[in-house]
Amino acid sequence: MLFFVLFLPATILIHNVGFTPKVNVMAPSPLADNPGYGGKAFAETAFFNFEIKPTWNDVLLAFGMAVFIQFTMSIVLNLRYGQGAFCRVLCPYAAMMAPLMNKSPVQSKITRVAQCNGCRDCSNACPQGIDVSREIFHFDGKVINTECIKCYNCIDACDTNVLKDTAAPAVPQTDRLKPYEKRPWQQEMVRKDGFLVNARHMQVFDPLGPVADFMSIIVALVCGGITSRFGGFWFYPGAIISFIVFRECCLYMTKFAKKKTSSVVSST
């Protein structure tokens, strides 16, 4: 599914401009879908288009369109789903390499080599949203989470030199850190706005159920396909924005239904 989504803009572009078995990396041009290419605001095959003339206003307009595409692909996705959202949600390498990440017992992992005091600086520094301090407490001093990308931010953030990337056994944790024992973070739930929500540190979006999750992907593909008529790279703003909006609507409707049900129950 990830590969299909990532290659869909290129597939649409080849479908619109044609394909020849002759190997030519410049046909179509890699920039053919960018705003301003060939003096056009959108792709040549777009159902709506206008010329970009060599004036500052038009050049700034084309530049603004390109920035908007990048803004949607990066900043909007990160704002909604946390740091490193593209790497965790869309990057195909994660799907390919996950079976090999932090699975082997002899593989080097982020390891506890001294007593952890539970300051959580390592967890707060992790760009993947891994709760490192609890991970090394519950899993024999090793970070086994497959989201780990070995950026070593946690090692750099630890002022007491607790962490190291090694395959050697971890130092036993004699200080049991009772808050971690009483609150298993992977199933931890807290009450927020009257509803129980997952309070784990991992920056992921909570599933809505198999039907809603499947429909959100379909809505994203359909809306991305519509916006890609303006150029292949316009697929991403349409898909990302529609994906977020659809899920937000589903969450709002779910919360509204729960509030209505709870009010009915309380009144009876």
Where in the chain are the domains?
Answer: 2-6+27-82+206-260, 96-185
Determine phi and psi for 196, rounding to 5 degrees: -80, 125
d(CA 92, CA 112): 30
- The predicted-structure confidence for 247-267, as pLDDT tens digits, reads as follows 888 888 888 887 777 766 666
- Whether the predicted pLDDT of 26 surpasses 70: no
Topology of 96-185 in CATH? Alpha-Beta Plaits (3.30.70)
pTM: 0.49
Percent of the chain with pLDDT over 70: 69
- The predicted-structure confidence for 183-229, as pLDDT tens digits, reads as follows 555 555 555 555 555 554 444 555 677 788 788 888 888 888 888 77
* Residue 158: per-residue pLDDT: 93
Q: What angle do CA 63, 69, 73 make, to 5 degrees?
A: 145
Q: In the structure, what pLDDT confidence band is assigned to residue 157 with cuts at 50, 70 and 90? A: very high
Burial of 162 (0-12, 13-18, 19+ CB in 10 A): buried
Determine contact, residues 223/242, Cβ cutoff 8 Å: yes
Q: Are strands 195-198 and 189-192 parallel, antiparallel or unpaired?
A: antiparallel
Instruction: Please name every residue paired with 191 in a beta bridge, in sequence order, or none if there are none.
Output: 196
Sign of CA dihedral 242, 244, 245, 251: positive
Compute the mean pLDDT over every residue in the chain, rounded to the nearest whole number: 76
State whether residue 232 is helix, strand or coil. Answer: helix
Q: Which helix (H) or strand (E) holds 198?
A: strand 195-198
State whether residue 162 is helix, strand or coil. Answer: coil
Q: Which helix (H) or strand (E) holds 127?
A: none
- Whether the predicted pLDDT of 169 surpasses 50: yes
* Residue 202: per-residue pLDDT: 47
* Residue 175: per-residue pLDDT: 83
Determine contact, residues 200/131, Cβ cutoff 8 Å: yes
d(CA 30, CA 242): 26
Instruction: Determine which of 36-45, 115-124, 166-175, 201-210 has the lowest per-residue pLDDT on average.
Output: 201-210
Q: Structure tokens of 70?
A: 């990048």
Contacts of 165 (CB under 8 A, 6+ apart): 108, 109, 110, 111, 150, 152, 155
- The predicted-structure confidence for 41-86, as pLDDT tens digits, reads as follows 777 767 777 777 767 677 777 778 778 877 777 777 777 776 667 6
Roughly what angle, to the nearest 10 degrees, separates helices 235-267 and 210-227?
150
* Residue 85: per-residue pLDDT: 72
